Structure formats: structure tokens, C-alpha cells
Structure 1
Amino acid sequence: MHYDFETLVRRNNTGSLKWNDMKNKNPNVEDCVVPLSVADMEWKNPPEIIEGLKQYLDQSIFGYTGATEAYYDSVTGWMEKRHGFSPKKEWIVETAGVVPGLSQMVAAFTKPGDAVLIMTPVYYPFRLSVENNKRTLVTSELIHTGSSYEINFADFEEKAAGEDVKLLILCSPHNPVGRIWTREELLRIAEICFNNHVFIISDEIHFDLILPGYHHVSMGTLEEKYVNNCAICTAPSKTFNLAGFQTSNHLIADKEMRDKLSAARGYHSLNMMGYKACEIAYTRCEAWLDELLLHLDANKRYVETFVAANLPEAKVCNLQGTYLQWLDFRGLGMDYRELEKFMQMEAQLFLDEGYIFGEGGRGFERINIACPLWVLKEAMERLLEAVIRYRKRR
């Protein structure tokens, strides 16, 4: 079956956060412009989910509803089939999204005075989950190699050995730099944390979005002692564009830590539609995902080719996983605030500014390529036109 990856559903005046944000930042933005910022897709949902939810609505009463055996089977079955490990049903703690779950785990797994380690530049809610819980933030900066990033293991090990560091929030695959950590890298992280009594929260929400030629290694596939020292955060939201259903599954083998998160949530069940959407996605939509990955790969390659041919001032980091491409615009010679204004006002590009991911992201932009290719082409042409005008002014 061939799915529709060409149609654009315009989300003006629908409550879409990134479409609203675009209009707020530039009220004069042209009607044809599509924001490429927040990590949801500008592609239609799998038709199997839409049809399945319609059938479910016809048969349902909208009372308090918890997870069913079919739901748990769909989650564990997906992990086994796509990621090579078999979590037990009782490991699953559902939360209303990975981001709320991160904050709840920081509160549950640490106490005031404790420190939490992150590797920057990284998804900014990691920092917020630490700061909002009034814990101490410790950062280890990734090493930028030009086309990719590596972990500074000497620095990481030194930071993890800090007396107050109790928790690592790991981004795997890494957002925004697009790296997929190798098994060797993950084993080294796991061993360092195990030896220093640092519990790992592994945010693997992008684990299905792996581009051809690469392979995601879940923390769930490592040795048992390491699996028992981590929480693996998963969700169908990025994979199947279901963020609005606010449903995620945290896989925690250690019962004590699992019970701490369950107690910290403040609720016992999720939105009933989220449960069903997740179940349908994991049992009926694998073919849609496989086709999606081909379109993501084509979009990635288009951006790489376009930038190489037209924008010597920019560099594209190699995207291995996620649908979020990381571009280095420091060659334009702009301050990061000037770059933000240039993108939004001159190029009419609404991306996620690199600086929000940490100081190491200044001068970078994160572009969401989960959109029809023609939308991406229009965006890159606008960028080129704006850069040409900028060159003439310099």
C-alpha cells in the first residue's frame, strides 16, 4: 500500500502550537509558509488509526478507562519486534507524555541538593525538568566534529563521579544533533553510571525514527544489571504523529523505582483515546512507518544536497535518527539573536533556534523535515533567496 505523504493539512486556527507560535513571531508571515519547528509532523496520520478510532468511538462509553491487556501486549510486542527486547508488562508505567514523565521522575528519583547530569546541546525540557524541580543541573558538552558529535567521555565520567550526581537524563537517539549512540558508547555510559550509582533515564522517544543504514540500540538490550539501573522512556507520539493524545510508556525493571514514579504521577490512568491510538499504531501501522522512513531519508538527502550546492556558509550535521536536522549557520557571521531574526523575518523560516538547546547550540538551527518534500523545497528556496540578499548587504 502507498500512503499519502504529499498532502499538507494546514493547521491555521486549529490550536496547533507551532502554527500559532509562527503567527505570534511574525504576524505578517505569508499564508503559504509552513512552520518547521516543534517536533510533530506535517503529514497526515496513518489511516488505520483514524478508522480504528472511529470504530472505537462507535462502541465506547467515555468513562474512566485504564489500560487493557491488549494495550500492554501491543507495547511489549512492539518492543520485541522492532527493538529486540521483551519488557515485562509490569515494567510499564504510563504517563501523559514523556516530558511530564521526565519531570515526575526527577522529582521522584532525587531529593533537594541532588544533581542531574545531561549532555548538551540537548532537548531543552531536560534542563527545565531539573530546574523546575529545584535540583542542581550538571552539563557535559558533546564534542562537535564538524559533521557529527561525540561524547566527551573524560568529562562525562568526571561529572558522573560527582558526589551529588544521582541521575543522568540520556537522549537516545539524540535530539537535536541526530546521533544514534552505538552499543559500545551505551555500554560505556551504562558502566560509568552503574559504578557511580547514577540512575539513567533514557529518553528513547525517537527510537522508531531510524534512517536507512543505522540501527538504534535500546538500553533494554544491555546486560540485566544495566537494565535494572534505568528507565526507558517510549511513546507512539513521534513515530505516528500522536502527540495530542499524550500517552507514553516508561519501562522500569526495578520495582522500587517503578513504584516511586507511579506514586509521583498523581493519576492512575490516561486519556482513553490515547490508549486505543497507541494500541492501533503498534498493531496495524508498521507498514506506514516503513514508508515514512523512506520519505524522511529522501528529505534528509535533499537538504544535504541543497546546502552543499547553494549555501557554503552552512553545514549540515549527519542525521542518523529523528526527523530533526541540525544545521550550523555560524558561517553567516551573525550573532545567534541576529540569526533568529533573519530566519523569521527575512527568510520566513520558523525553526527551533539552536540556542534553546544550550550554549553549544548558538548559531545552529533545528529544522523539522517531517513534511511533504515540496514544502521543504519551498522553505529552502526562501532561505537561499534571503541569504543572497544578505550577501549583497555585507
Structure 2
Amino acid sequence: MSKYNFDEIVTRRHTGCVKWDEPRPLSIEGEDVIPLWVADMDFKAAPAIQEAVIKRAQHGVYGYTVVEDDYFDAVISWFKRRHQWDIHREEIIYTTGVVPAMSVAVKALTMPGEKVLILSPDYNCFFSSIRNNGCEVLESILSPVGNTFEVDWHDFEAKCADEKTTVFLLCNPHNPTGRVWTKEELARMNDICMKHHVKVVSDEIHCELVMPGHRFQPFAAVSEACRQNSVVLNSPSKSFNIAGLQAANIICSQPEWRHRLDRAVNINEVCDLNPFGPVALKAAYNDSEDWIDELNSYLWSNYQMVCDYAKEHLPQWKVSQLQGTYLLWIDITATGMTAQTYADHLLRDYHVWVNPGTMYGPQSGEGYIRLNIACPQSLLKEALERIKE
């Protein structure tokens, strides 16, 4: 029997919620739009997190916040216990979010005009973070193999060998394709990167969202070589649905890089946490492990429902294998529409809001949509019924 009720419908509209309240494309109005776009869950946070935040709020004073030792202890304990990764206290730099951390890493480890390699299609903020720091995006396009995706190793090495490529920005697990990279794949990435003097920055924000039969592998825990050649970005924000509380960590074992990262954190003014971020992180990592396990089971059942429904009612969809995250990457080329036209069609005519794949790479994302399944199953089924129409 379930301990947590992920079927509960939580009204989020008119709460200043990006997912539900942000102005819609095409100026679509009305209260009946089902948003399956931004990577945000429609589930309440784990009870331990809610209780910790309420207790802190009851204090009544919300001033500047010191991040204390028990914050670092929670991070270290979680990743050791859950992922067999030994993190040292001095390796952790806290900041407000993984996207700010990404910009910090690019600023610290590159010079303007250099190239940053990504595996495309890729999280849309990768493109903006790279360009905002004066660098050039270099895409190695993933190869579709069956109903999943693999690295084109020949192309990946050729892009690493470019003399202007200095950083490889990795999404692990991968958004939007849902890949969970294996230990062997990560080791091979690092071998190629080290051969060509390319540093690795690994965004691991989705690390707790892993489906049955797969295991998340922290990049820095693959080998000592990976540890020494990487900067890892992580946060409980995505997995525990607490992005608005803004707490994330940059983890790096190289003292010289760490000095540059710390300097960039201060230059970008993302060095202070609010009073609620640390208490939420501690409650997540110390007291909510059973919640994340049950969440993953629920997400897996949502994924299976989409696959079964598409097989019966949406033959023009080809749903990619979901290994991690709660974001489905769906090939819609059989509809004969472009990604943007199809997404617009669903929103305008059926009030279902999804992301066009071209957000994640103009070339690599064409012919795909991204669908967020982190919502009560009844809401997801209603969206599918509308799409079937």
C-alpha cells in the first residue's frame, strides 16, 4: 500500500506558479489548459520537507543565512549512502541553483570565444548559459538506436579534438532523451576528453529520478581520473520538487578549479542561500528517501500508461525509452508536422501544453516533442484523451 498520495490533485493555478500561471504561447486563455511542459512536478513535497519549512517559517525572522555543517553532512551522507560516492567537505560550493552553477562553471573554466561541447538534443539552458558567457555551442548529435539514443563516438572525439573546445557540458541523466549514462559510457567520455585536454562539467540535477533496471552513476565516482577532470552540479530541487527554495551544489576536487569556481560564484552574485533552502535540503536528504523511491514507482507507472495508450490510440507517436527523468521524448515525424506546428496545434486546439523538440536543438530536436509526466495520473490521462482527439 502506498504511503504517499501522488494521485492528489493540488490546485496550483493562481499561486504565481510558472508551470500553470505563466502567460501561454499563442495567447491561449482559459482555465482548462493542461501544462505538461516545464520540468516541474505537480506533487506536494515530501512531508518531512513541508514540516521543516513550516517550522522555519514559524520563527518569523528571515534574514541572511549561514550554511552550517549539518548541510554539508547531509549532502555527503546522501551521496555516500545512495550512490557510493565519497565527497569531501572542502569539495562542496553551495549556490542558488544548477542553472546559475552551470553559468559559474562555464565562466570559471573557459575564456570567451572558446567552444563548449554538448550532446544534442540537450537542455535548453545549456545553449543560453554557454552563449551568455561568450562561448560557442558545439553540438555532437546523439544517434537514435531503436527507441533510445547513443553517443556518436567518432563525432564526439572529433568535436573534442577541435583546438577551441575546452569544456564538455554533460547532462547526466540526460534531458530530454531520458538516457541514464552507464559507467562504461561515462568513462569513455572522460578518456576522450582527457586525451584532448577537455574539462567535464556534469549537470546531475535529475540524478534521483531513475527508472527500474537502470542505475545513476555520478560522473566523479566513475574513477579517480573522472574525479580529477570534472565539476559536478547537483541539487535536490528537481527530484524533490523544491526548485523554488533555491539550493544547489557545485562539487569539485581540483583546488585550483575550485578557487576559480568560488570566484565566479561571487562575480555572478549567486553566493547566498535563503533561509528555507538549507532546511529543505536537509529534510530531503536525511528524512525523505522512501518518498523518492515511491515517487519513482509512480512515475514509472505513468510512463507505462503513456506507452500503452500511445500503442492503442496514438500510432503516430514513437515514445523513447525512459531510463531517467520524468520527461518523455516523443518522435512525432509520422504526423507530418514540424515540432513547433504540432506543439502549437495541441495548445491552440486541445489546450495541452508541451515543448517542441526544437527548443533542445534546432536540428536534433526537429520531429520531437517533450512531455512532462510528473503529475497525477488522472490529469495525464485527460491530456492523452485530448491528444487522441
Shorter-chain-normalised TM-score: which range? over 0.9
1:225, CA displacement in angstroms?
2.1
CA contact (8 A) 1:315 1:328 kept: yes
Counterpart position of 1:167? 167
What SS class does the counterpart of residue 370 from structure 1 fall into? coil
Q: Give per-residue Cα distances to partners, 1:300-344, cap 9 Å, x unaligned.
A: 000011101111111000000001011111100012332122111
Counterpart position of 1:315? 318
Q: 1:174 to 1:77 in 2, by over 3 A?
A: same
Counterpart position of 1:390? none
| Structure 2 residues not aligned, in runs of 5+ | none
Counterpart position of 2:327? 324
CA contact (8 A) 1:178 1:326 kept: yes
What SS class does the counterpart of residue 240 from structure 1 fall into? coil
Letter of the 1:272 counterpart: P
Which structure 2 residues correspond to residues 170-319 of structure 1 after superposition, within 5 A?
170-266=170-266, 267=269, 268-319=271-322
- The question of 1:365 aligning with 2:369 is answered yes
Which structure 2 residues correspond to residues 66-81 of structure 1 after superposition, within 5 A?
66-81=66-81
What SS class does the counterpart of residue 239 from structure 2 fall into? helix
Counterpart position of 1:13? 14
> 2:262 & 2:98 partners in 1: Cα distance?
14
Which structure 2 residues correspond to residues 95-114 of structure 1 after superposition, within 5 A?
95-114=95-114
Counterpart position of 2:58? 58
Q: Give per-residue Cα distances to partners, 1:83-134, cap 9 Å, x unaligned.
A: 1111001111111100011111111111122111011000011111111111
TM-score, L = length of structure 2: 0.96
CA RMSD of the aligned region, Å?
Answer: 1.4
Letter of the 1:309 counterpart: E
CA contact (8 A) 1:210 1:321 kept: yes
Q: Give per-residue Cα distances to partners, 1:183-221, cap 9 Å, x unaligned.
A: 111110011111111110001110100011111111121
CA contact (8 A) 2:332 2:339 kept: no
Letter of the 2:196 counterpart: N
Counterpart position of 2:138? 138
What SS class does the counterpart of residue 352 from structure 2 fall into? coil
- The question of 1:376 aligning with 2:380 is answered yes
Q: Give per-residue Cα distances to partners, 1:236-260, cap 9 Å, x unaligned.
A: 0011100001111111111111111
| Structure 1 residues not aligned, in runs of 5+ | 386-394
> 1:320 & 1:42 partners in 2: Cα distance?
21
Question: Which residue of 330, 334, 339 maps to 2:337?
Answer: 334
1:347, CA displacement in angstroms?
2.5
> 1:22 & 1:214 partners in 2: Cα distance?
37
> 2:25 & 2:311 partners in 1: Cα distance?
32
> 1:338 & 1:50 partners in 2: Cα distance?
40
Letter of the 2:114 counterpart: D
Which structure 2 residues correspond to residues 116-131 of structure 1 after superposition, within 5 A?
116-131=116-131
Letter of the 1:50 counterpart: Q
Letter of the 2:367 counterpart: G
> 1:346 & 1:256 partners in 2: Cα distance?
54
Letter of the 1:260 counterpart: R
Q: Which range moved further: 20-29 or 92-101?
A: 20-29
Q: Give per-residue Cα distances to partners, 1:289-309, cap 9 Å, x unaligned.
A: 111011001000000111011
CA contact (8 A) 2:32 2:351 kept: no
Counterpart position of 2:352? 349
- Number of aligned residues: 384
Q: 1:138 to 1:92 in 2, by over 3 A?
A: same
What SS class does the counterpart of residue 238 from structure 1 fall into? coil
Counterpart position of 1:392? none
> 1:201 & 1:191 partners in 2: Cα distance?
14
Letter of the 2:82 counterpart: R
1:26, CA displacement in angstroms?
4.4
Q: 1:58 to 1:21 in 2, by over 3 A?
A: closer
Q: Which range moved further: 19-28 or 164-173?
A: 19-28
> 1:32 & 1:3 partners in 2: Cα distance?
26
Q: Which range moved further: 279-288 or 55-64?
A: 55-64
1:136, CA displacement in angstroms?
1.6
CA contact (8 A) 2:343 2:355 kept: no
CA contact (8 A) 1:26 1:344 kept: no
TM-score, L = length of structure 1: 0.94
CA contact (8 A) 1:8 1:44 kept: no
Letter of the 1:17 counterpart: V
1:59, CA displacement in angstroms?
4.1
> 1:122 & 1:24 partners in 2: Cα distance?
22
> 1:55 & 1:340 partners in 2: Cα distance?
42
What SS class does the counterpart of residue 375 from structure 2 fall into? coil
Q: Give per-residue Cα distances to partners, 1:48-100, cap 9 Å, x unaligned.
A: 11111222233474222121111100001111111111100111111110001
